[in-house]
A and B are shown apart, each in its own frame.
Chain A
């Protein structure tokens, strides 16, 4: 049975900031969606279905906000699905939308993810006390710091690697007009001198809290032929999940991440990701996750990821640029962060990434993860339609 090839023909983002006091949640999502439609030269009536994602409803205090957002997203009279897979949701949402086109259920789908963190307090949202359940009182940083420590101990990585990633991503963000943090005076010394929050994670090695939305228009082969600008083609996409807590779990390099990447590479016919992939948009909310995921995703052998980072391979002008957009470290509207990774990967292979364009990018990976490093969503996009 053959699937319909899926093309990304429109991408839209808001300028991500700490607080968008000038728009409602509906106004925020509408802005990103309108930009994606403009990019694709389509109108609301060209859209057959809407697939929307965001992280927990407590982050804005609206239960099932797709109901309220139906009008703003032109979904009235159309199907609307709401995906929620924790931090990986932006990626999962794009994949659910992509499947609607691949299965030929719909021809043109608007997919969108958002978070308007200023409406509430994410730390509170993650720390609600529930009887008989351990609350995550330390926030996400407190949960992940021990796993970073385990990585350092396991690989012997020097403790300077994390700051290199943060310094790189914040400089890349300066080239991305939509990025939240634009730290024009950033230096490596400033990153290294920033306060220690959850040892070994420093303040400047953590992601910000952002308001923002990201949207994409996905369509079939005929839709791509009509698009005014180059399309990004989906060559492979997969999700994998594993339990939060169990004795066999490897928090440093979860099996679900390895399996997910392997599935995407199989679909896309990628034998050597390090050589065949030109750009990676990786979900790195804490800087040390770059070397960790380089190994988990098969770009480096086990224990070798930090060496790639240290040698400059992942810089914008390196051999394998990671997070040319500035990544989650520079922009983190949580529910949208995964979709931004997917969308930025698409922009790279469309040649539409502007100042942070990786020259000649033909294949790019978008990656997202969530929960206790247990939910993974990835896609690989290419400048040419898939041949398999």
Chain B
């Protein structure tokens, strides 16, 4: 049974992100996050105590310790006590939880943040711990190797070739030239093979970073932002975990999420895709039916900056920021989780003309 459409208009009214860097040894996670929180609050003039609901996304495995998000909460300044929650996922899903909270009418505004430091460990190794713990994880297949399987499937299916993948990578880094927060910018060689058929340029940089967003409902959003990015729909779907039962050249979960979010009702002009590997952009363009007339990843995308656990939230923030600036009227934002695009979230954002 189809649910009743959202009963409340909710918008992204502010977005801030850190400058993403390969290492931030001098900063704790809280110190990485604090300036971003201040920026996003300053942009709206709101204080922590004005916010109706707070939700964050992060990962203990990146931090290397249990309950790592508790320290970030101290940074938020949760006093007097706040209504707050946390997802052990990318911050994009924290935004989803906050959106639902506002839809219930229990909050009119929400602060959402996501952060991750990949530099203290080996993120390729760390991500293997996401895999089936009994049969797959003991083999330590890393994230690049799994993405390479997906890329090779696409090439074998005739959906792409190495030259096309290189073009995706080059376009992303060129676009990132205009993004002061990006980690990898401007034209650079595609590099050597990391895991065939993927070269360095096909893979995301390893880096640390944080992002934050403020959501608001109805007139509150209009008060806080000259041109709010209204969330017209948002949905997320997951697929089977085992790669052996999935068609890696397709993304049915992304397609389903887009459909439920209303993405196919009218064309979008912009898409911010969370595609950590160049070949995944090929999969997503097809699943999300993005034509050549759609501006894809004007920020440079994840190939230019990949702070794990914030990268998906940044896609929503970048898409919203383009609407805030009047550069887009209808944008699609996408976030992913798990190996080879296992889980996908799609939001459709619009500005009022």
Q: Residues of A with Cβ closer than 8 Å to B?
A: 1-3, 24-25, 48, 55-71, 75-86, 92, 95-96, 99-100, 102-107, 119, 125-126, 128, 130, 132-133, 238-246, 248, 254-256, 259-260, 371-372, 374-375
Contact = CB atoms under 8 A, between A and B. Distances in A.
A262 B61 CA distance: 35
Given A63-B59, A64-B338, A81 B241 contact: no
Contacts of B86: 83-85
Interface stretch (B1-9, B170-178, B264-272): B1-9
B109 to A, nearest CB: 15
B105 interface: yes
A107 B1 contact: yes
A107 B103 CA distance: 14
A125 B71 contact: no
B149 interface: no
B59 A64 contact: yes
Interface string B247-266: 00000110010000000000
Contacts of A85: 85-86
A48 B71 CA distance: 34
A104 B3 contact: yes
25 contacts: A3-B104, A56-B60, A57-B88, A63-B61, A68-B131, A68-B132, A70-B342, A71-B242, A76-B239, A78-B237, A79-B236, A80-B236, A83-B87, A86-B70, A103-B104, A104-B3, A104-B4, A104-B103, A126-B67, A238-B83, A239-B83, A243-B73, A244-B70, A256-B78, A371-B70
Contacts of B84: 239-241, 375
Given A70-B240, A243-B73, A106 B3 contact: yes
Given A58-B61, A130-B64, A242-B78, 4 more contacts: A1-B7, A58-B66, A77-B253, A371-B67
Nearest to A371: B70
Contact of B238 (A78, A107, A375): A78
A103 B106 CA distance: 10
B62 to A, nearest CB: 9
B97 A58 contact: no
A136 B88 CA distance: 21
A105 B85 contact: no
Contact of A128 (B65, B73, B82, B96): B65
Contacts of A79: 235-238
B158 interface: no
Nearest to A24: B134
The 3 residue pairs across chains A and B that have the minimum distance between CB atoms: A56-B66, A256-B81, A103-B103
Interface stretch (B122-130, B290-298, B315-323): B122-130
Contacts of B126: 63
Nearest to A67: B338
Contacts of A48: 3
Nearest to A2: B105
Contacts, number: 203
Interface centre among B6, B67, B84 (most CB of A within 10 A): B67
A57 B89 CA distance: 12
A83 B71 contact: no
Interface in B5-36: 6-8, 28
B101 interface: yes
Given A67-B343, A102-B104, A107-B3, A372 B70 contact: yes
Nearest to A122: B66
Interface string B99-131: 011011110000000000000000000110111
A57 B60 contact: yes
A76 B235 CA distance: 14
B256 to A, nearest CB: 7
- For A65, A79, A96, A248, the residue with the greatest tally of chain B CB atoms inside 10 Å of its CB is A79
A238 B151 CA distance: 45
A77 B256 contact: yes
A83 B70 contact: no
A57 B131 contact: no
B77 interface: yes
Given A77-B256, A107-B3, A100 B70 contact: no
Nearest to B132: A68
Given A67-B130, A67-B342, A68-B133, A100 B66 contact: no
B69 interface: yes
Given A62-B129, A77-B252, A82-B89, A259 B81 contact: yes
B44 interface: no
B266 to A, nearest CB: 22
B88 A64 contact: yes
Contacts of A243: 73-74, 77-79
